[in-house]
Amino acid sequence: MNRTKYNMWLQYRPISNIKQYELLMNEISVFGDTPAIKSAKVEVDFALSKMLNQAIKVKGEDPTAKIVIGTIEKLGNLLNETQIQKLKSSNDEGYLLSSSNHQLKVIGNSDRAVLYGVHHLIRLVQLEKDISDLEIFQQPKNQFRMLNQWDNLDGSVERGYSGNSIFYKNGQIVQDKSRIKDYARYLSSVGINAISINNVNVWKEETYFITKKYLPEIKQIAEIFRAYGVTLYLSINFASPMAIGGLSTADPLDQSVKEWWRDKAAEIYEYIPDFGGFVVKADSEHRPGPFTYDRDHADGSNMLAEALEPFNGKVVWRCFVYNCLQDWRDRSTDRARAAFDHFKPLDGRFHENVILQIKNGPMDFQVREPVSPLIGAMPNTNQIIEFQVAQEYTGQQIDLCYLIPQWKQVLQFDTHIKGEGSSIEEIVAGNIHPYKYSGISAVSNIGDDENWTGNTLAQANLYGYGRLTWDPSLSAKEIAQEWIIQTFGNTETIIGTIEDMLLNSWEIYENYTAPLGVGWMVTPGVHYGPNIDGYEYSRWGTYHFADRDGIGVDRTKETGTGYTEQYEEPNQSKYNSLEHCPDELLLFFHYVPYKYMLKNGKSVIQHIYDTHFKGFNQVDGLIERWDSLKQYIDEDRFENVQDRLQRQKANAREWRDQINTYFYRKSRINDQHNRTIY
């Protein structure tokens, strides 16, 4: 195995200026022996030994050691009153890094917090930061920082672009769980604290994960994650009482169904006392749910919540609910409306241990779409936002697409739900409404490829997701720099070149794919490569409504689907107005003629031509910049990215040619620059 590819950002390469870290070379004392504390002890010993290129003396509990690590319960007597009060005022995952009087202290409010503090210290050393005068208080802004694995028992990964599952193989849970342990290390290093380990589409055998057939091995996986501060969840089949319980119904109001789930919850907690709870996809894309019994989503989720409540378990209920067989040719129907229409009327009816998981946009992780109006629209119902680290519609970890800038835009969006300042960031942090549970979740992008993410540069999205969910104030540039230095080293040429590639990649990908927010136009099922009229359920037409006169979806309240009414003012008026709608979302909200003039002075059709030619040329620029790093990057990782960029170029060419040809033939309007369009 090539450890450099495998280690992602935990390379722990020797640093250049060892002298400034002489304090670390002496002795470290770690207080406590819980699983998380033991993980912190192992990690700090391993990391510092490698980075400082010498053995580190890790000793027993000695408060006079040069570095002391432990909880406030163990080491509070080493703190002054101000430090104690600051820690006590932070949440359970808060910690302090302090260096004074020739001693460095890493002290957390919990075992998990100590582990986060240790990783923070390691990161500072790997970034070669000065640690001689530290006084850092940290706590995560988001309570839930979760990943959803879409892994199947046969070893496949739905929307997986990095090989097969690290959890399952050939219909069994893997026996060698060392790779799962390493995954837990990566997650803890960026502050991820929850994970569901099976696909939200729970089929056949996976339904049995909540039975004695699989719980003993799932218990082992839970123990691995527990040692790294990560709580385990399972996706469930809503119809499990019928599928594996022998009942004739899964009606959530049926007493026998309620009793079955109560018994099932008790059984699970016998194996995993700190089990997080269930992730549920119901009544969407042919998955069973409460609609079968004329019940609603509050009925369905509350039934599960009652079963989990005695054990402090949670129900994470996905709001990706729409009629996949609706007639998209009927312009009065609108998939974008679905989540809001289904869930908004139910506000206040959900139990306090139910959390609604809402995709960041109203459609499905497109390269550009507006923020879902459902986020924050239910003041009495816990919510978390869902991102997709896996690049399903953004290049599938073949094409480079650094997603942190996109997520930053989403989090900074001001909903005006409770007036100005009601940003998505503050809503999901629980600072706008009195949510008991809130935060951020995302679909993971890892598999059993040697480098975990298929494209080495796609590791930046996983790293960035963790760092951003912990601290949304970090810029996309700061996160990129951290990842680059830890992954490739502290060489100025490497940092500048890869940073430029990452920060421009989202715009480049958007340029040669879907224009002005219209979205989709990808090959159905595959979701990679262009198919302009492609629709997942093909007999129902297209998403973009392009004809000989124009393109776009009319979602206005006067003449369209009325989707714009789901937003609060002033967003409602901004999106509803053709004049004020941002150009990048124009075709999401409006149908316009091809000669409609954008705010940049170009017509829609000329913008389509120009951006697709530009995007293809920009990929050439990515290749040129990466090739300039050949002497700085190890051969395996250099060739991996080089190969992906060549594949991206082929994809960009196909998008450019098909999109431009399609819209030229639709509009019969020539390119102003007389470039070849077939």
CATH number, residue 148: 3.20.20.80
CATH assignment at residue 23: 3.30.379.10
Tell me the whole-structure pTM to 2 decimals. Answer: 0.97
CB 107 within 8 A of CB 95: yes
Say if residue 516 is in the same domain as residue 614: yes
Cα–Cα distance between 597 and 606 in angstroms, integer?
A: 9
DSSP H/E element including 650? helix 635-667
Say if residue 268 is in the same domain as residue 386: yes
Say if residue 281 is in the same domain as residue 252: yes
Q: Is residue 502 part of a domain?
A: no
| pLDDT single digits (tens) 114-141 | 999 999 999 999 999 999 999 999 999 9
Which of 138, 165, 191 is the endpoint of a domain? 138
Phi, psi (5° rounding) for residue 321?
A: -125, 120
Q: Is residue 608 part of a domain?
A: yes
Say if residue 240 is in the same domain as residue 389: yes
Residues catalogued as catalytic:
285, 364, 392
Q: Is residue 482 part of a domain?
A: no
CB-based contacts of 321: which residues, under 8 Å, 6+ apart? 282, 283, 284, 289, 297, 338, 339, 342, 343
| pLDDT single digits (tens) 220-279 | 999 999 999 999 999 999 999 999 999 999 999 999 999 999 999 999 999 999 999 999
Cα–Cα distance between 253 and 251 in angstroms, integer?
A: 5
Q: Is residue 627 part of a domain?
A: yes
Confidence of residue 287 (pLDDT cuts 50, 70, 90): confident
Say if residue 104 is in the same domain as residue 213: no
Q: Is residue 501 part of a domain?
A: no
pLDDT score of 528? 96
Residue 182 has pLDDT above 50, yes or no: yes
DSSP H/E element including 465? helix 459-470
Q: Is residue 454 part of a domain?
A: yes
**Greatest mean pLDDT among 60-69, 314-323, 596-605:** 596-605
Say if residue 91 is in the same domain as residue 52: yes
Which of 107, 138, 169 is the endpoint of a domain? 138
Say if residue 255 is in the same domain as residue 364: yes
Say if residue 307 is in the same domain as residue 395: yes
Mind giving me the DSSP string for 159-211? T--SSS-SSEETTEE-S--HHHHHHHHHHHHTT--EEE-S-SS--GGGGGGGS
Mind giving me the DSSP string for 106-153? EEESSHHHHHHHHHHHHHHHHTT---TT-EEEE--S-SEEEEE--B-T
Confidence of residue 330 (pLDDT cuts 50, 70, 90): low
Which of 138, 160, 194 is the endpoint of a domain? 138
Cα–Cα distance between 638 and 629 in angstroms, integer?
A: 8
Say if residue 243 is in the same domain as residue 388: yes
Partners of 196 in beta bridges:
148, 233
Q: Is residue 273 part of a domain?
A: yes
Say if residue 428 is in the same domain as residue 546: no
Helix/strand number for the chain, H first, E second: 20, 18
Choose among 232, 254, 238: nearest CA to 313: 232
CB 436 within 8 A of CB 447: no
Q: What is the DSSP letter of 630?
A: T
Cα–Cα distance between 402 and 461 in angstroms, integer?
A: 6
Residue 541 has pLDDT above 60, yes or no: no
| pLDDT single digits (tens) 593-642 | 999 999 999 999 999 999 999 999 999 999 999 999 999 999 999 999 99
Say if residue 658 is in the same domain as residue 543: yes
Say if residue 420 is in the same domain as residue 304: yes
Q: Is residue 443 part of a domain?
A: yes
CA angle centred on 76, ends 74 and 81, rounded to 5°? 175
pLDDT score of 620? 98
The stretch 359-367 carries a mean pLDDT of 96
CATH assignment at residue 601: 3.90.1330.10
Q: Which domain holds residue 31?
A: 3-138
CB 666 within 8 A of CB 647: no
The total of structural domains in the chain comes to 3
Cα–Cα distance between 121 and 129 in angstroms, integer?
A: 10
